[in-house]
Protein backbone atom coordinates (compact mmCIF):
# COMPACT_ATOMS: atom_id res chain seq x y z
CA UNK A 1 0.00 0.00 0.00
CA UNK A 2 1.17 3.56 -0.65
CA UNK A 3 2.65 5.44 2.27
CA UNK A 4 0.85 8.34 3.93
CA UNK A 5 -2.32 6.72 5.23
CA UNK A 6 -3.54 7.70 8.66
CA UNK A 7 -3.94 4.78 11.05
CA UNK A 8 -7.02 4.89 13.27
CA UNK A 9 -7.75 2.89 16.38
CA UNK A 10 -10.48 0.29 15.91
CA UNK A 11 -13.78 1.94 16.84
CA UNK A 12 -16.33 -0.39 15.32
CA UNK A 13 -17.04 -3.99 16.19
CA UNK A 14 -17.59 -6.17 13.12
CA UNK A 15 -21.18 -6.82 14.18
CA UNK A 16 -21.87 -3.05 14.17
CA UNK A 17 -19.99 -2.21 10.97
CA UNK A 18 -21.98 -0.09 8.47
CA UNK A 19 -20.96 -2.38 5.57
CA UNK A 20 -21.58 -5.57 7.56
CA UNK A 21 -24.27 -6.98 5.24
CA UNK A 22 -22.55 -6.40 1.90
CA UNK A 23 -18.81 -6.71 2.55
CA UNK A 24 -16.57 -9.76 2.18
CA UNK A 25 -17.49 -10.73 5.76
CA UNK A 26 -21.26 -10.69 5.16
CA UNK A 27 -21.61 -14.49 5.41
CA UNK A 28 -19.24 -14.93 8.34
CA UNK A 29 -20.02 -16.86 11.51
CA UNK A 30 -19.18 -15.81 15.07
CA UNK A 31 -15.78 -17.53 15.06
CA UNK A 32 -14.86 -15.76 11.81
CA UNK A 33 -15.69 -12.37 13.30
CA UNK A 34 -13.52 -13.11 16.31
CA UNK A 35 -10.54 -13.67 14.04
CA UNK A 36 -11.32 -10.65 11.87
CA UNK A 37 -11.51 -8.46 14.97
CA UNK A 38 -8.03 -9.65 15.88
CA UNK A 39 -6.34 -8.98 12.54
CA UNK A 40 -8.13 -5.86 11.25
CA UNK A 41 -6.93 -2.27 11.26
CA UNK A 42 -8.44 0.94 9.91
CA UNK A 43 -6.65 3.28 7.51
CA UNK A 44 -7.87 6.65 6.26
CA UNK A 45 -6.68 8.35 3.07
CA UNK A 46 -7.17 11.97 2.02
CA UNK A 47 -8.80 12.91 -1.32
CA UNK A 48 -6.30 12.47 -4.15
CA UNK A 49 -4.00 10.24 -2.11
CA UNK A 50 -2.79 7.05 -3.77
CA UNK A 51 -3.83 3.91 -1.90
CA UNK A 52 -1.92 1.49 -4.14
CA UNK A 53 0.03 1.66 -7.38
CA UNK A 54 -0.47 -0.79 -10.22
CA UNK A 55 2.05 -3.60 -10.11
CA UNK A 56 3.46 -2.84 -6.66
CA UNK A 57 3.58 -5.46 -3.93
CA UNK A 58 0.44 -5.07 -1.85
CA UNK A 59 0.74 -6.63 1.64
CA UNK A 60 -2.76 -5.64 2.73
CA UNK A 61 -6.29 -6.30 1.52
CA UNK A 62 -9.60 -5.05 2.84
CA UNK A 63 -12.93 -3.32 2.38
CA UNK A 64 -14.05 0.26 1.79
CA UNK A 65 -15.94 1.33 4.92
CA UNK A 66 -16.68 4.92 3.96
CA UNK A 67 -15.85 7.09 0.95
CA UNK A 68 -15.00 6.36 -2.69
CA UNK A 69 -11.82 5.38 -4.53
CA UNK A 70 -11.04 5.41 -8.24
CA UNK A 71 -9.40 2.63 -10.23
CA UNK A 72 -7.30 4.06 -13.05
CA UNK A 73 -4.61 3.12 -15.54
CA UNK A 74 -1.80 5.30 -16.85
CA UNK A 75 -0.67 4.97 -20.47
CA UNK A 76 3.02 5.31 -21.45
CA UNK A 77 2.43 8.88 -22.69
CA UNK A 78 0.99 9.94 -19.31
CA UNK A 79 -2.69 9.83 -20.19
CA UNK A 80 -4.90 8.38 -17.46
CA UNK A 81 -8.18 6.52 -17.80
CA UNK A 82 -10.50 5.81 -14.92
CA UNK A 83 -11.74 2.24 -15.21
CA UNK A 84 -13.94 1.90 -12.15
CA UNK A 85 -15.08 3.11 -8.75
CA UNK A 86 -14.75 1.46 -5.36
CA UNK A 87 -17.77 2.23 -3.18
CA UNK A 88 -18.50 1.27 0.45
CA UNK A 89 -18.28 -2.53 0.95
CA UNK A 90 -16.13 -3.04 -2.18
CA UNK A 91 -12.98 -5.12 -1.72
CA UNK A 92 -9.48 -3.72 -2.28
CA UNK A 93 -6.70 -6.14 -3.22
CA UNK A 94 -6.38 -9.58 -4.73
CA UNK A 95 -5.86 -12.58 -2.45
CA UNK A 96 -3.45 -14.97 -4.12
CA UNK A 97 -1.90 -12.27 -6.32
CA UNK A 98 1.11 -10.08 -5.61
CA UNK A 99 -0.44 -6.79 -6.67
CA UNK A 100 -3.12 -4.93 -8.61
CA UNK A 101 -3.54 -4.20 -12.30
CA UNK A 102 -4.68 -0.60 -11.68
CA UNK A 103 -3.83 2.37 -9.50
CA UNK A 104 -6.20 2.92 -6.57
CA UNK A 105 -6.65 6.60 -5.65
CA UNK A 106 -8.94 8.14 -3.04
CA UNK A 107 -11.66 10.21 -4.74
CA UNK A 108 -12.89 11.43 -1.35
CA UNK A 109 -11.62 10.93 2.16
CA UNK A 110 -11.85 7.18 2.45
CA UNK A 111 -11.61 4.72 5.32
CA UNK A 112 -10.57 1.11 4.71
CA UNK A 113 -10.84 -1.89 7.01
CA UNK A 114 -7.58 -3.70 6.22
CA UNK A 115 -6.11 -7.14 6.86
CA UNK A 116 -2.62 -8.51 6.43
CA UNK A 117 -2.91 -10.38 3.14
CA UNK A 118 -1.10 -13.55 4.20
CA UNK A 119 -3.25 -13.83 7.33
CA UNK A 120 -6.40 -13.15 5.33
CA UNK A 121 -5.45 -15.76 2.73
CA UNK A 122 -5.01 -18.36 5.43
CA UNK A 123 -8.39 -17.41 6.85
CA UNK A 124 -10.01 -17.77 3.42
CA UNK A 125 -8.60 -21.29 3.24
CA UNK A 126 -10.31 -22.16 6.53
CA UNK A 127 -13.59 -20.32 5.95
CA UNK A 128 -15.85 -21.38 3.04
CA UNK A 129 -18.12 -18.43 3.92
CA UNK A 130 -15.44 -15.87 3.03
CA UNK A 131 -14.31 -17.85 -0.01
CA UNK A 132 -17.89 -18.01 -1.30
CA UNK A 133 -18.45 -14.30 -0.72
CA UNK A 134 -15.21 -13.43 -2.55
CA UNK A 135 -16.47 -15.42 -5.54
CA UNK A 136 -19.81 -13.59 -5.43
CA UNK A 137 -18.05 -10.23 -5.32
CA UNK A 138 -15.76 -11.19 -8.20
CA UNK A 139 -18.77 -12.07 -10.35
CA UNK A 140 -20.47 -8.80 -9.35
CA UNK A 141 -17.31 -6.96 -10.37
CA UNK A 142 -17.36 -8.69 -13.75
CA UNK A 143 -20.98 -7.66 -14.29
CA UNK A 144 -20.11 -4.08 -13.31
CA UNK A 145 -17.22 -4.02 -15.79
CA UNK A 146 -19.52 -5.17 -18.59
CA UNK A 147 -22.08 -2.55 -17.60
CA UNK A 148 -19.37 0.10 -17.64
CA UNK A 149 -18.28 -0.96 -21.15
CA UNK A 150 -21.87 -0.53 -22.36
CA UNK A 151 -22.18 2.79 -20.57
CA UNK A 152 -19.06 4.22 -22.21
CA UNK A 153 -19.59 2.71 -25.65
CA UNK A 154 -23.26 3.12 -26.40
CA UNK A 155 -24.99 5.54 -24.03
CA UNK A 156 -25.60 9.26 -24.50
CA UNK A 157 -24.31 11.85 -22.03
CA UNK A 158 -27.75 12.06 -20.38
CA UNK A 159 -27.94 8.27 -20.07
CA UNK A 160 -24.43 8.10 -18.62
CA UNK A 161 -25.20 10.59 -15.83
CA UNK A 162 -28.56 8.98 -15.05
CA UNK A 163 -26.95 5.52 -15.08
CA UNK A 164 -24.30 6.59 -12.58
CA UNK A 165 -26.98 7.98 -10.26
CA UNK A 166 -29.00 4.76 -10.59
CA UNK A 167 -25.93 2.65 -9.78
CA UNK A 168 -25.10 4.73 -6.71
CA UNK A 169 -28.71 4.74 -5.53
CA UNK A 170 -28.96 0.96 -5.82
CA UNK A 171 -25.65 0.41 -4.05
CA UNK A 172 -26.63 2.70 -1.18
CA UNK A 173 -29.98 0.97 -0.82
CA UNK A 174 -28.31 -2.46 -0.77
CA UNK A 175 -25.85 -1.26 1.86
CA UNK A 176 -28.77 -0.30 4.12
CA UNK A 177 -30.75 -3.43 3.25
CA UNK A 178 -33.47 -1.44 1.48
CA UNK A 179 -35.19 -1.88 -1.86
CA UNK A 180 -34.63 1.12 -4.17
CA UNK A 181 -37.86 3.10 -4.19
CA UNK A 182 -39.38 6.51 -4.89
CA UNK A 183 -38.13 9.20 -2.54
CA UNK A 184 -34.77 7.58 -1.86
CA UNK A 185 -31.68 9.68 -1.11
CA UNK A 186 -28.01 8.81 -1.42
CA UNK A 187 -24.69 10.65 -0.95
CA UNK A 188 -22.89 11.84 -4.07
CA UNK A 189 -19.34 11.42 -2.82
CA UNK A 190 -17.44 12.13 -6.04
CA UNK A 191 -16.88 15.51 -7.67
CA UNK A 192 -18.13 16.49 -11.10
CA UNK A 193 -14.55 16.33 -12.33
CA UNK A 194 -14.29 12.70 -11.18
CA UNK A 195 -17.66 11.95 -12.79
CA UNK A 196 -16.40 13.43 -16.06
CA UNK A 197 -13.25 11.29 -15.96
CA UNK A 198 -15.22 8.16 -15.16
CA UNK A 199 -17.86 8.70 -17.84
CA UNK A 200 -15.62 10.04 -20.60
CA UNK A 201 -17.31 13.46 -20.63
CA UNK A 202 -16.25 17.05 -20.06
CA UNK A 203 -17.02 18.76 -16.75
CA UNK A 204 -19.24 21.22 -18.62
CA UNK A 205 -21.31 18.36 -20.09
CA UNK A 206 -21.66 16.74 -16.66
CA UNK A 207 -22.86 20.03 -15.16
CA UNK A 208 -25.35 20.62 -18.01
CA UNK A 209 -26.85 17.16 -17.71
CA UNK A 210 -27.16 17.33 -13.93
CA UNK A 211 -28.85 20.72 -14.27
CA UNK A 212 -31.23 19.27 -16.87
CA UNK A 213 -32.15 16.36 -14.59
CA UNK A 214 -32.84 18.87 -11.81
CA UNK A 215 -35.01 21.07 -14.01
CA UNK A 216 -37.09 18.06 -15.01
CA UNK A 217 -37.60 17.13 -11.37
CA UNK A 218 -35.82 13.79 -11.76
CA UNK A 219 -33.29 14.58 -9.02
CA UNK A 220 -32.94 17.10 -6.22
CA UNK A 221 -29.61 18.14 -4.73
CA UNK A 222 -29.66 18.70 -0.98
CA UNK A 223 -27.20 19.57 1.75
CA UNK A 224 -23.99 17.56 2.24
CA UNK A 225 -24.06 16.48 -1.43
CA UNK A 226 -27.16 14.33 -0.96
CA UNK A 227 -29.14 13.39 -4.07
CA UNK A 228 -32.89 12.89 -3.67
CA UNK A 229 -34.82 10.88 -6.28
CA UNK A 230 -38.60 11.56 -6.24
CA UNK A 231 -39.45 8.92 -8.88
CA UNK A 232 -36.88 6.13 -9.23
CA UNK A 233 -38.54 4.54 -12.28
CA UNK A 234 -38.32 7.83 -14.20
CA UNK A 235 -34.61 8.10 -13.40
CA UNK A 236 -34.09 4.53 -14.63
CA UNK A 237 -35.93 5.46 -17.84
CA UNK A 238 -33.46 8.32 -18.38
CA UNK A 239 -30.56 5.86 -17.98
CA UNK A 240 -31.59 3.85 -21.03
CA UNK A 241 -32.33 0.78 -18.91
CA UNK A 242 -35.62 -0.76 -17.92
CA UNK A 243 -36.75 -1.33 -14.33
CA UNK A 244 -35.10 -4.78 -14.27
CA UNK A 245 -31.73 -3.42 -15.34
CA UNK A 246 -32.01 -4.49 -18.99
CA UNK A 247 -31.14 -2.12 -21.81
CA UNK A 248 -33.96 -0.51 -23.75
CA UNK A 249 -33.57 -0.96 -27.50
pLDDT per residue as tens digits for the range 16-63: 888 988 899 988 888 888 888 889 999 999 999 999 999 888 889 999
Strand partners, 73: 81
Question: How much is the pTM?
Answer: 0.82
Which band of pLDDT confidence, cut at 50, 70 and 90, is reported for residue 197?
confident
8-state DSSP, 247: B
The confidence score (pLDDT) of residue 10 equals 47
For residues 73 and 54, is the Cβ–Cβ distance under 8 A?
Answer: yes
Neighbours of 83 (CB within 10 A): 16
For residues 113 and 52, is the Cβ–Cβ distance under 8 A?
Answer: no
CA distances from 161 to 17, 166, 209, 213, 246 (A): 30, 9, 7, 9, 17
- Structural domains of the chain, ranges and CATH numbers in brackets: 6-140 (2.60.120.10), 155-238 (1.10.10.10)
Q: Which residues of 233-246 are buried (b: 16+ CB within 10 A; e: fewer)?
A: ebbbbbbbbeeeee
Amino acid sequence: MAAGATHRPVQTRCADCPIRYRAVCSHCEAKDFEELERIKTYRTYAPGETIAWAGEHMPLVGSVVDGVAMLSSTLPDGRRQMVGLLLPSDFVGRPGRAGLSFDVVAATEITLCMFNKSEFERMVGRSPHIEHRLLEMTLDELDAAREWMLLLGRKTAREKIASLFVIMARRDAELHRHVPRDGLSFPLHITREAMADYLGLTIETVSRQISALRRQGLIELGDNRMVHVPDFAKLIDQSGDDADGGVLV
